[in-house]
Structure 1
Amino acid sequence: MTTAIRTGNRRARKVDFDLPPKNALPSRRGKIAGLIALIAAAVYFLGPVYWLVVASTKNNRDLTSTFGFWFAEWNLGANYDSLMSWTQGMFWRWVGNSIFYSVTAGVVGTLFAIMAGYAIAKFSFPGKKVAVAIIMAGLLMPVALLTVPLYLEFHALGLVDTVWAIIIPSAVSPFGVFLGMVYAQSVPTELLEAARIDGAGELRIFFTIVMRLLAPAMVTIFLFIFVATWNNFLLPLLMVSSQELKPVTLGLFGMMSYFSPNKGAVMLGALLGVLPLIILFFTLQRYLRSGLAAGAVKG
């Protein structure tokens, strides 16, 4: 907002109240250093994606004999036909499986993470410190260490080679509970007390007030669980053997384990398999930013 101040017959210079004071602005060197850092980060993160796009258009010979970051003979159509042929038309089924596993685990895991985190942050109950200690221990536990015990449990329950063998372990996220606990601390206690005085029950308070306040935080937790489920490889490798239930990561691994794979087709499959993640992040990026900012504020 820009305003002009009059004093007698003289007009004072315009003052822009939206700008911070000059001493709070970065120096010219700071701006240049920040720009260089942003460009370097963009190259670091986008370089592999660009290489994947280029590699998906090449055949095996061109992948080893031409410059990796530029196009050679165009083989995109042949690579796609090879991908569909080798997977027997199951590739898009695998992508759909990955989307189903990730979305389901993300929604269920986010709901339970927010509920558990809210309960730990806002309620006092016996064993609270033990629960927090178990959650923190779960953060330090390597996921690969739990894979074999999980397989034995699900085999005893008769759930191996079912969708539940992937969804249930993926939805249980100690990191998600920890984030839910951190975010729930920003919920004003006065607002909760006012709702209780008005006669609202705890379930109504949670689903009508708390979930609305923590919506950006829920998007952040959902994205973490979604990406972790999408990238999970060891769990589906042990739990799933049916072609119809494989996620795209496991399906492409089977293609690479072939004695003479069409690497260009594999690169194309990896590119097509990562597109849902890119679309999801572009769609939810503004909620992710606000959710990360909310986690840095304690109410």
Structure 2
Amino acid sequence: MSLVGRTRREALQVNGALLVLAALSLAPLLWMLSVSLMARGEASHFPPPFLPARATLDSYRELFGSTGIGRNFGNSLLVSLAITVLSLLLNTMAGYAFAKLRFAGRERLFQLLLAALVVPAQVAMLPLFLLMKQLGLVNSFWGVIVPAMASVFGIFLVRQYARSIPDELIEAARIDGAGELRIFFQVVLPLLKPVLVTLATFTFMGAWNDFMWPLIVLTDQEHYTLPVALAALSREHIMDVELMMAGAVVTVLPVLVLFLALQRYYMQGLLLGSVKG
């Protein structure tokens, strides 16, 4: 067999394997969407059908009409956007400071921050809850937002990328009389755009999907975020598979659309950060 024919066969085998893996990965999501469009009780048949006999939006009408899930959707959107904006600002400033500003104990402090990555998040939840209680932030959106405003991973990601910015560019701005804040916002921030998109995607998806901490700190159902509200709803409608799948679609769809829309910038930020850092 010729080299061209062998190369083509290998390419077909690789693409075929990738296609099979993609189909296996997408099958649960497609079945979730399909079940959400089924009539009540249809998914409980055995064997369960893959496609609805007659597509209907009854589950979505009930979900938004009688369960109050629309309010919880708004809660999740508010909390996730607030966390993303504040996290971008604080993580970016801290990451730039660790990368380019010289101050006493910089490297030791950064090593201490990295050491905190090995501490499981569950270990910190009890002292964090007690702190939120002392601050009067329990059962409020700020109780969810404040602990997520900065993260070690976000600081690390920005620092690694910011180290690639030429020192000569920053020194030239200082010679021209620019202050540190002006340098940061007008010179550094535009150069950090790829990693900012990556960090924003990470942060928004993490805040949107977070279940454990909102479950702990939010006690009033009116403040529930979408994952917590969906878990509470499942206890009341445990046999209503179609309704639960509709809720799952509403929960997954925003972050899926966000990731697909920003996928190119997301991967660019990761790859450039790994190469330049």
TM-score (norm 2): 0.89
2:208 counterpart (230, 240, 244): 230
5+ long unaligned stretches in structure 2? 1-5
Counting matched residue pairs gives 272
Q: Structure 1 residues 148 and 33, CA, compared in 2 at 3 Å: closer, same or farther?
A: farther
2:154 corresponds in structure 1 to 176
- Following superposition, which runs of at least 4 residues in structure 1 exceed 4 angstroms of deviation? 66-69
2:88 counterpart (95, 107, 110): 110
- The whole-number CA distance in structure 1 between the counterparts of 2:112 and 2:77 is 30
Q: Structure 1 residues 28 and 138, CA, compared in 2 at 3 Å: closer, same or farther?
A: farther
**Larger % of helix: which?**
2
Residue 46 (structure 1) aligned with residue 29 (structure 2)? no
Q: Structure 1 residues 37 and 216, CA, compared in 2 at 3 Å: closer, same or farther?
A: farther
Q: Is the 8 A contact 1:51 1:68 kept in 2?
A: no
Residue 206 (structure 1) aligned with residue 184 (structure 2)? yes
Q: Structure 1 residues 45 and 99, CA, compared in 2 at 3 Å: closer, same or farther?
A: farther
Q: Is the 8 A contact 1:255 1:261 kept in 2?
A: no
The C-alpha deviation readout for 1:89-144, integer Å capped at 9, x for no partner, is x2111111111111110111111111111111112222222321222122222222
1:73 CA displacement: 3.7
Comparing 238-247 with 280-289, greater Cα deviation is found at: 280-289
Q: Is the 8 A contact 2:37 2:242 kept in 1?
A: yes
- The whole-number CA distance in structure 2 between the counterparts of 1:245 and 1:191 is 47
Q: Structure 1 residues 47 and 150, CA, compared in 2 at 3 Å: closer, same or farther?
A: same
Q: Is the 8 A contact 1:216 1:287 kept in 2?
A: yes
1:38 CA displacement: 3.2
- The whole-number CA distance in structure 2 between the counterparts of 1:40 and 1:194 is 54
The C-alpha deviation readout for 1:62-97, integer Å capped at 9, x for no partner, is 32324556113436333224323551xx21111111
Q: Is the 8 A contact 1:54 1:69 kept in 2?
A: no
SS of aligned partner of 2:255: helix
Q: Is the 8 A contact 1:173 1:225 kept in 2?
A: no
Comparing 261-270 with 31-40, greater Cα deviation is found at: 31-40
- The whole-number CA distance in structure 2 between the counterparts of 1:44 and 1:192 is 49
Residue 55 (structure 1) aligned with residue 35 (structure 2)? yes
- The whole-number CA distance in structure 2 between the counterparts of 1:297 and 1:192 is 21
1:219 corresponds in structure 2 to 197
SS of aligned partner of 2:276: coil
1:21 corresponds in structure 2 to none
- The whole-number CA distance in structure 2 between the counterparts of 1:41 and 1:224 is 24
The C-alpha deviation readout for 1:164-204, integer Å capped at 9, x for no partner, is 00111122211111101111111111211221222211111
The C-alpha deviation readout for 1:208-245, integer Å capped at 9, x for no partner, is 01110001110101111111111111111111122221
Residue 76 (structure 1) aligned with residue 56 (structure 2)? yes
1:185 corresponds in structure 2 to 163
Identity of aligned residues (%): 37
- The whole-number CA distance in structure 1 between the counterparts of 2:182 and 2:203 is 26
Alpha-carbon RMSD: 2.2
1:46 CA displacement: 1.9
2:131 corresponds in structure 1 to 153
2:140 corresponds in structure 1 to 162
1:296 CA displacement: 2.3
